Structure 1
Amino acid sequence: MHRKTRHMSNPPLTLYGLKNCDTCKKAMQALTAADHEVAFVDIRAEADLPDRVPAWLKAVGAEALVNRRSTTWRSLTTDQQAQALGDGAAALLIEHPTLIKRPVIDTGADILVGWTSGTEQALKN
């Protein structure tokens, strides 16, 4: 008797990013190549940031979520930058979605930020 083994696909993921972001494109390609089912959500146009940002901040903190290499970061005042890394993070990230480090990947169990070897490793486990 021959038994067929069914290939178990990875759990579905949601990738929050920008359509024109090279890092987001790279992450999307790698995830789909690794048999992940990925839903892409544009953080400027489609994401419910007032709902998402507080949850992301709770999960990973402002240090991880705020993109301090962005043009948006450099355009903030010193006071706003301090706010972005403190109690005012949620309001600033919602007002300036490009201040969010990308991609933000929701696995259903975890929130992963950025496309790094650590993120890739976390998704393999």
Structure 2
Amino acid sequence: MTIVLHGIRNCDTMKKAFAWLDGQGLDWRLHDYKKEGIDRARLEGWVAKLGWEALLNRAGTTFRKLPDAEKAGLDAGKAVALMLAQPSMIKRPVAVAGEALLVGFDPARWSATLK
């Protein structure tokens, strides 16, 4: 099974994930938001499974630069719209392996799920 990593190639966390996967000898491919974007159905599926709070990167520069009015009153619909408009607001990486869906790079959690 090939693991699909969703994110941005030049992100430091993504680079750690690439190295970890290579070190484990796992097959993976990158879905780069900068080149391929993200479709609404996929993003809404992730939100249904994990919740928008797990996916929206509030600590990132892109989110922090938003006007306060856009950050106010966040709900699933508004969060999905923000992430679709600017995929860099999606926490990275999102790893998809079969039915497994992991957000963020955590070697212990990844090892338990992906091996």
* Pairwise CA distance, 1:85: 4.4
* Pairwise CA distance, 1:31: 1.0
Runs of 4 or more off by more than 3 Å in structure 1?
A: 82-86
| Larger RCO: 1 or 2 (CA < 8 Å, sep 6+) | 2
The answer to whether the 8 Å contact 1:16/1:47 transfers is: no
* Pairwise CA distance, 1:51: 2.8
TM normalised by structure 2 equals 0.87
3-state SS, counterpart of residue 15 of structure 1: strand
Where does residue 61 of structure 1 map in the other structure?
Answer: 51
The answer to whether the 8 Å contact 2:55/2:90 transfers is: yes
3-state SS, counterpart of residue 6 of structure 2: strand
Q: How many residues align?
A: 115
User: Which one has the bigger helix percentage?
Assistant: 2
CA distance in 2, matches of 1:74, 1:81: 9
Question: Percent identity among equivalent residues?
Answer: 34
Q: Which runs of 5+ in 1 are unaligned?
A: 1-10
After superposition, the Cα gap between the structure-2 partners of 1:124 and 1:111, relative to the gap in structure 1 and judged at 3 Å, is closer
The answer to whether the 8 Å contact 1:13/1:38 transfers is: yes
After superposition, the Cα gap between the structure-2 partners of 1:86 and 1:78, relative to the gap in structure 1 and judged at 3 Å, is farther
Give 1 or 2 for the bigger CA radius of gyration.
1
- Mean CA deviation greater in 60-69 or 74-83: 74-83
Residue 90 of structure 2 is aligned with which of 88, 91, 100?
100
Q: Which runs of 5+ in 2 are unaligned?
A: none
3-state SS, counterpart of residue 5 of structure 2: strand
- Provide the alpha-carbon RMSD of the alignment: 1.8
**Superimposed CA distance per residue, residues 2-50 of structure 1 (whole angstroms, 9 cap, x where no aligned partner):** xxxxxxxxx3210011011011011011012112110111012114332
TM normalised by structure 1 equals 0.80
